[in-house]
Structure 1
Amino acid sequence: MKKTIIIVDDHILIAKAIEGIINNFKDFTVINVAENGQDLIDKFENNCAIPDIILMDISMPIMNGFEAVSWLKQNHPNIKVMALSMQGDDNSVIKMIKNGARGYLLKNTHPKDLEDALIRLNTDGFFYPEWASKIINNAITGDNSKAIKISGREKEFLAYTITELSYKEIAEKMCCSPRTVETYRDQLCEKLGLKTRVGLAIFALKNGFAEL
């Protein structure tokens, strides 16, 4: 079964062009197009089907991409959101990721690269091209990353953060209590200056802690 996608972009011609490209992909189909974040919310409130993935523009009237991603994180956290924008500056990338986006692409991306990115987003839960990964990694680790000491058990926990396992299930895998897992999480967040599991997962992927 194809994974479903909603495109959120105020430039309708661009949105329709992207829709046409995606509908030619083997594993994905576009089920709706929204003109901005508020339009997306309105569609959901009118019983629009909930998609697997949302491609989100940033610069839009009424409700921009930053606000829309934040709303989705609170109300539909299981939807994987990928930013698709002309804005590739550090602030935009970091803000979108902090607000809940799990991927980032520029609109000049080749269709084949878009398809590959959607596949990776669907299977891995995250996708960032090399240029975006550098921005994210620098923001997460800073210049003191080599001085951070991470224990063996914390490294094991980091590897599980990129999976879809709940913290309770991670505890079972690690043969410890859920409270211990929460302690690993809290200690790592404090060491790395992070606040969310997404941040921990990105750190794990970018720093070689993703393999069990």
Structure 2
Amino acid sequence: MKKTIVIIDDHLLIASALSSIISSFNQFEVLYICENGMDFQEKLNHKKVPDIVLLDVNMPIMDGFETAKWMHKTHPQILIMALSMQNDDSSLIKMIKSGAKGYMLKNIQPLDLEKALESLVEKGRYFPEWASKKIFENVCADEKELKEIKLSDRETEFLKYTTTEMNYKQISEKMFCSPRTIENYRDSLFEKLQLRTRVGLAVYAIKNGYSI
């Protein structure tokens, strides 16, 4: 039986193109297209609930973050694959925090799109190489061991702020310390947690209950 998909994207040409591509895949079929999260909510009242939602990050009325949070709360069985034009850290962090199980760029090749959807179904998640290698392989490699690492109160506080959209200067103001001190916290956590990016810190924080 084919896995069913709903595409939520305010760019109808892109949504239609994705739908046409997916229709050529043996394992998947598109049920319908929605312009935003609100449109999806309304259509769910009288249409079938999909197995997968391809969800645009930036949309008017009800964007990807709000829609993902709503789906995670009301339809947690739906696998959410976020769609974005850019591989920016902020959107990745927010979408993971909102409940997305996958993240891909809109310029993905058809063959890679099929593999991404297959991975989402088989493994329960899909993240492109630029994200997965830097984040999940490090964070998920030995989660139990990471939890046993002792962090100071200030490092823990800084770790929580990495899940927000604040930059390092704003975090330093929030924590009443200098930007240099914030860099010290960051570097210390990089070493303790064996991570290299803020995205890695944020994902570790979210997975271990440190997010704000």
In the superposition, the TM-score normalised over structure 1's length comes to 0.66
Give the paired residue count. Answer: 153
Question: What CA distance in whole angstroms lies between the structure 1 residues aligned with 2:126 and 2:115?
Answer: 9
Q: What do the CA deviations read for 1:165-185 (whole angstroms, capped 9, x no partner)?
A: xxxxxxxxxxxxxxxxxxxxx
Question: What CA distance in whole angstroms lies between the structure 1 residues aligned with 2:48 and 2:95?
Answer: 24
Q: Give 1:10-159 correspondences, 5 Å limit.
A: 10-45=10-45, 47-134=46-133, 136-137=135-136, 149=148
Q: Is contact 2:36–2:63 with CA below 8 Å preserved after alignment? A: yes
Residue 112 of structure 1 and its aligned partner are, at CA, apart by 0.3
Residue 48 of structure 1 and its aligned partner are, at CA, apart by 1.1
Residue 148 of structure 1 and its aligned partner are, at CA, apart by 5.2
Residue 132 of structure 1 and its aligned partner are, at CA, apart by 1.7
Q: Is contact 2:83–2:106 with CA below 8 Å preserved after alignment? A: yes
Question: What CA distance in whole angstroms lies between the structure 1 residues aligned with 2:101 and 2:58?
Answer: 18
CA spacing shift, 1:101–1:118, aligned 2, 3 Å: same
Q: Secondary structure at the match of 1:60?
A: coil
Q: What is the identity, as a one-letter code, of the residue corresponding to 2:117?
A: L
Provide the residue aligned with 2:3 in structure 1. 3
Q: What do the CA deviations read for 1:143-193 (whole angstroms, capped 9, x no partner)?
A: xx987548xxxxxxxxxxxxxxxxxxxxxxxxxxxxxxxxxxxxxxxxx54
Q: Is contact 1:93–1:136 with CA below 8 Å preserved after alignment? A: no
Question: What CA distance in whole angstroms lies between the structure 1 residues aligned with 2:50 and 2:61?
Answer: 22
Question: What CA distance in whole angstroms lies between the structure 2 residues aligned with 1:128 and 1:149?
Answer: 26
Taking only the aligned residue pairs, the percentage that are identical comes to 50
Q: What do the CA deviations read for 1:103-145 (whole angstroms, capped 9, x no partner)?
A: 000001000000001001011111111112245449958xxx9
RMSD after superposition? 2.6
Q: Secondary structure at the match of 2:29?
A: strand
Structure 1 stretches lacking a partner, 5+ long: 151-191, 200-212
Q: Is contact 1:140–1:193 with CA below 8 Å preserved after alignment? A: no
CA spacing shift, 1:138–1:89, aligned 2, 3 Å: farther
Q: Is contact 1:5–1:31 with CA below 8 Å preserved after alignment? A: yes
In the superposition, the TM-score normalised over structure 2's length comes to 0.66
Q: Is contact 1:6–1:31 with CA below 8 Å preserved after alignment? A: yes
Question: What CA distance in whole angstroms lies between the structure 2 residues aligned with 1:42 and 1:121?
Answer: 26
Q: Which runs of 4+ in 1 moved over 2 A?
A: 134-141, 145-150, 192-197
Question: What CA distance in whole angstroms lies between the structure 1 residues aligned with 2:22 and 2:40?
Answer: 19
CA spacing shift, 1:147–1:33, aligned 2, 3 Å: closer
CA spacing shift, 1:135–1:58, aligned 2, 3 Å: farther
Residue 13 of structure 1 and its aligned partner are, at CA, apart by 1.0
Q: Is contact 2:147–2:208 with CA below 8 Å preserved after alignment? A: no
Larger Rg belongs to? 2
Question: What CA distance in whole angstroms lies between the structure 2 residues aligned with 1:33 and 1:193?
Answer: 34
CA spacing shift, 1:148–1:195, aligned 2, 3 Å: closer
Q: Secondary structure at the match of 1:88?
A: coil
